[in-house]
Amino acid sequence: MPQPLAPTPLPPTENRLVALLRRAGLLDWFLLGLLGMVVLAYFFPAVGSKTSPIPWKAITTAGVALIFFFYGLRLSLDKLRAGLRNWRLHVVVQLITFVAFPVLALAVRPLFDGLKGQQLWQSIFFLCALPSTVSSSVVMVSMARGNLPAAIFNASISSLLGIVLTPLWTSLFLQTSADSGHLWSLAVSLLWQVIVPVVAGVLLNRRFGAFAEQHKVTLRISDQVVILLIVFTAFCESFEEGIFRSYAARDVALLALGMVGLYLAIFGVVWGLSRLLGFSREDRITALFCGSKKSLVHGSVMASLLFPGMAATGLLLLPLMLYHALQIILASMMAQQMGRQTEA
């Protein structure tokens, strides 16, 4: 009886190319999904705008609350207390995240003139005021063989501090709203959508924390789906109002180069400061990958809370989306190289 033919393997060069793209993060479904949401919003802006019959606001509001509830559910108070011991590393990471980033943005403000330039600078400053990521920071530190417990602690604390510090920075330098009624509404929104779910999750950690850890991959995918919906509705509003009409492809390319410069500048500052303070290699790696990241989750949520009804929310998220893609691509390559050096 003739044997069935084996499937023809892919050429080695093609295998290597796919593997390289995957390691660089270019085949990440979430990055491709972000691009897809922008394309869909461009061609079908009415679907995600305020005039749509779909209750996007209610859907994304519930999704945001669930994101922060499950985030709190995975936070162990015991681990957070244990993480306080390496306080110098934590101080460096949080100062880089919430001080060095905004100061760099303020330093380049004179380079942006005119209405278009000021709108771009505001988007960049909003990016710089955000906390670090949680999942990708921990993953990169693990790949690079850094101090993993310290990475988990710093990423968690950064997210909690961002609930307070991001609105504080934006209220000082961006025009969210001068209306006291709106500020009260913002405080209530933050309370019910972010703080209450996080606190509820932390309190339930002992009982359901193991369940959240077992299903962390599924929970991360659900988080990403909510972010894709927020990005889609934000860009629908911006395209509907014609916010991007005055921005050419050259402007986006220059913005992307600026994000590369920002990432490399922060990376250099963290590396130099870590060596100056005599950090171990593991702690330097943790400082690098936790201090140089910015959270698209918090950025999407905060944009919808701090700038409700603002047609330029898509523009506000554009630098953040570029930086998010960049930090995944560059950081993954750097992390793998550092991991190989540590093993060697």
pLDDT, tens digit, 9 for 90 and up, residues 207-223: 888 888 788 778 778 87
Annotated domain spans of the chain: 52-343
pLDDT, mean over the chain:
78
For residues 22 and 252, the model is more confident at 252
Asked if 289 and 140 count as a contact pair (C-beta separation under 8 A), the reply is: yes
Q: Which residue has the higher pLDDT, 167 or 185?
A: 167
Q: When comparing pLDDT for 129 and 343, which is higher?
A: 129
pTM: 0.70
Q: Are 308 and 237 in contact (CB under 8 A)?
A: no
Question: With 60 as the cut, is the pLDDT of residue 317 above it?
Answer: yes
Judged against a pLDDT cut of 60, whether residue 63 lies above it is answered with: yes
How far is it, in rounded angstroms, from Cα 145 to Cα 339?
5
Residue 5 has pLDDT above 70, yes or no: no
- The count of residues in the chain is 344
Residue 308 has pLDDT above 90, yes or no: no
For the ranges 33-42, 275-284, 327-336, which has the lowest average pLDDT?
327-336
Give buried/exposed letters for 34-72 (b at 16+ CB in 10 A, else e): beebbebbeeebebbbeeeeeebeeebbebbbbbbbbbb
For the segment 125-163, what is each residue's pLDDT rounded down to a tens digit? 999 999 887 666 777 787 788 887 788 788 778 878 888
What pLDDT, on the 0 to 100 scale, is given for residue 92?
93
From CA 223, how far away is CA 71, in angstroms rounded?
A: 10
Q: Please state, in angstroms and rounded to a whole number, the distance separating the CA atoms of residues 29 and 7.
A: 26
Contact in structure between 193 and 65 (CB atoms under 8 Å): yes
pLDDT tens-digit series, residues 273-283: 999 999 988 89
- Please report which confidence band the pLDDT of residue 28 belongs to, taking 50, 70 and 90 as the band edges: low
Q: 52-343 maps to which CATH number? A: 1.20.1530.20
Q: What's the mean pLDDT in 153-175? A: 82
Given this model, what pLDDT does residue 287 score? Answer: 92
Helix axes 205-214, 196-203, angle to 10 degrees: 100
- Residue 30 CA, distance from chain mean position: 12
pLDDT higher than threshold 50 for residue 87: yes
Q: Which two tokens stand for residue 303?
A: 């944009």
* 76-99 mean pLDDT: 82
